[in-house]
Amino acid sequence: MSDVLLSGWGRTAPTRAHVVEVSDAAHVAAALLHAPARGLIARGLGRSYGDPAQNAGGDVLDITGLTGITFDAANGVATVAAGVSLDALMRECTPQGWWVPVTPGTRQVTVGGAIAADVHGKNHHVDGTFTAHVARMALSLPDGTLVNVYPGDALFNATAGGMGLTGVVVEADIQLLPITTALARVDTDRFDDLDSLMAAMASGDDQYRYSVAWVDAGTRGTLGRGILIRGDHANAADIPERKRTLAFDPGTLATVPALVPNGLLNKASITALNEAWFRKAPRQRRDELQSLTAFFHPLDMARDWNRMYGPRGFLQYQFVVPDSAGHVVQRTLEALRMIGATSFLTVLKRFGAEGPGLLSFPRPGWTLALDIPTGVPGLAAVLDSLDELVIEGGGRLYLAKDSRMTPRTLELTYPRLAQFRALRAEIDPNRRLNSDLARRLDL
Ligand SMILES: Cc1cc2nc3c(=O)[nH]c(=O)nc-3n(C[C@H](O)[C@H](O)[C@H](O)COP(=O)(O)OP(=O)(O)OC[C@H]3O[C@@H](n4cnc5c(N)ncnc54)[C@H](O)[C@@H]3O)c2cc1C
């Protein structure tokens, strides 16, 4: 056990906690039983942007020591320890013809973290969230009891998206997706403005399993011009034999050095990157074969790229709004451009039906995510005003990305919050599980 200063991926608001390493369910139970007054929270690979895997003055359980995969290639069910990363799961199962059915923009997340944030991928409109593919979770409750929970159980629904506050996930059974190649068949379209991009997504996304748009949020060029990338798994039968492969061998191209000055990614450099990115994309390309790693995880090519923002860090602003409030997408881009808050990684997606997770983020409509360097003058006030638009529009912000939401915003946007709180009060009256996020938002 050691005292460590921890932050999220955005590297803002670090706090110090005792890190407890665990390697099996008995360790997890013991750690829960011995949790200090400030409580304990599980931490996976620290890829959430804000403070959900931090616990100032308390314990943080490093679950990456919970390893082990048992895979039945006959039916595609993987029994996976919660500390296993999606990267490791993919390396194990892809060569055997199975794919992780929901993957975020990075595969460097743990199964526990994927469940606790109930993560989504580019296929939410078809396949829902991560926990829609979880058949069982083994959960260590705050009192140390180990229980199995199943879809439909109240505890399952509270744990899916529950940010680690209902128990520590120790293991899960996941139903994987059969594939015949480790390739994606990809269509790319470039749009000169936001309206035509959004119209194409609204009318055409249903024809694809995966869809994501990169939006130019620099300070030059037409606001919201973008590149739409859509596709599905390539079928072995449809491609030449010499190109067929189930090999999964992602490389890491570069590591960003530990000491990067503040301001390397600033208004000018982000605008230039946006411009170059937009120009590089073809106006239209069809049926391009890409490796699954290039298609799903281009960001994983650079290790520790969050350091590019310098020690001051950055935040991600991600909201979802129903179709009726689609204008919030444009208003957000406009408001941020007005104060010179540029974002290089600006991603627009459409979500499908809402799942049963009490605090799960996705609901039908548009979701926009922007990475913004902190320290831009006026940023806090603009984001506060955008929160109001999201509230008015019937949307919400994503807890796994958040570092600044207020309890009021949470109350107004998560209609099943009271149910979550009631269940938490019942199973954890003494708040053995606690985090900086939970205290900040009174979860
Ligand atoms: C580059 C990048 C791209 C991303 N893209 C997406 C995306 O497309 N879609 C998306 O949905 N998310 C995305 N994310 C967010 C990321 O998927 C989530 O934050 C995820 O929870 C991170 O997993 P982790 O293992 O790093 O968990 P951590 O960040 O360490 O923890 C996150 C939460 O999970 C809880 N937790 C971790 N392990 C357990 C456990 N065993 N039991 C109970 N609770 C646990 C923690 O307490 C905490 O509340 C992205 C993040 C990055 C950095």
What the chain holds in terms of domains, given with CATH numbers, is 70-179 (3.30.465.10), 183-404 (3.30.70.2520)
Mutational test site, ligand 1, from 24, 87, 119, 293, max ligand atoms within 8 Å of CB: 119
User: DSSP states of 64-80 as a string?
Assistant: GG---EEEETTTTEEEE
Closest residue by Cα to atom 4, ligand 1, is 105
Taking CA atoms only, the protein residue closest to ligand 1 atom 49 is: 163
Rg from Cα positions in the chain: 21
| Ligand 1 within 6 A of CB of 105 | yes
d(CA 75, CA 98): 10
The protein residue whose alpha carbon is closest to atom 18 in ligand 1 is 48
What CA–CA distance (Å, rounded) separates 416 from 438? 16
CA angle, 379 then 382 then 328, to 5°: 130
Do the Cβ atoms of 49 and 10 come closer than 8 Å?
Answer: yes
Give the per-residue pLDDT at 375: 87
- Judge if the beta carbon of residue 22 lies within 6 A of ligand 1: no
Global pTM value: 0.97
Handedness of CA 392, 414, 205, 330 (dihedral sign): positive
Residue 138 beta carbon below 6 angstroms from any ligand 1 atom: no
DSSP string spanning 94-119?
A: GGGTEE-SS--S-S-SBHHHHHHTT-
CA distances from 390 to 171, 324, 332, 382, 398 (A): 35, 11, 10, 12, 12
Q: Which parts of the chain have pLDDT scores under 70?
A: 1, 219, 252-264
Q: Is the dihedral of CA 149, 154, 156, 159 positive or negative?
A: negative
39 lines ligand 1 (CB under 6 A): no
pLDDT at position 195: 95
218/272 Cα distance (integer angstroms): 8
Q: Is the CB of 226 under 6 A from ligand 1?
A: no
Q: Say if CB 113 and CB 44 are below 8 A apart.
A: yes
**pLDDT tens profile 56-71:** 999 999 999 999 999 9
Distance (angstroms) between ligand 1 centre and the Cα of 400 equals 6
Q: Whose CA is nearest to atom 8 of ligand 1?
A: 104
Q: Decide if 306 contacts 10 (C-beta within 8 A).
A: yes
Q: Per residue in 378-394, pLDDT tens?
A: 999 999 999 999 999 99
Q: How many CA atoms lie within 13 A of 361 on its CB side?
A: 28
Tell me which residue of 204, 219, 318 sits closest to 274, measured CA to CA. 219
State in Å: Cα 184 to ligand 1 middle.
25
Length, in residues, of the chain: 443
Question: What are the φ and ψ backbone dihedral angles of 84, each rounded to 5 degrees?
Answer: -70, 135
CA of 114 to the centre of ligand 1 (A): 5
User: Is 110 a pocket residue for ligand 1 (Cβ < 6 Å)?
Assistant: yes
Q: What was the pLDDT predicted at 259?
A: 63
159 — phi, psi (to 5°)? -80, -30
Q: Is the dihedral of CA 244, 234, 96, 43 positive or negative?
A: positive
Cα-Cα-Cα-Cα dihedral sign, residues 389, 205, 159, 34: negative
pLDDT at 88: 97
- 31 alpha carbon – ligand 1 mean position (Å): 21
Tokens 């039983």 belong to which residue? Answer: 33
DSSP string, 130-174: GGGGEEEEEEE-TTS-EEEE-TT-HHHHHHTTSTT-S-EEEEEEE
- Mind giving me the DSSP string for 22-90? --SHHHHHHHHHT--TT-EEEESS--SSSSTT--TTSEEEEGGG---EEEETTTTEEEEETT-BHHHHH
Ligand 1 pocket member 162 (CB < 6 A): no
User: Which residue's CA is the closest to the ligand 1 atom numbered 9?
Assistant: 104
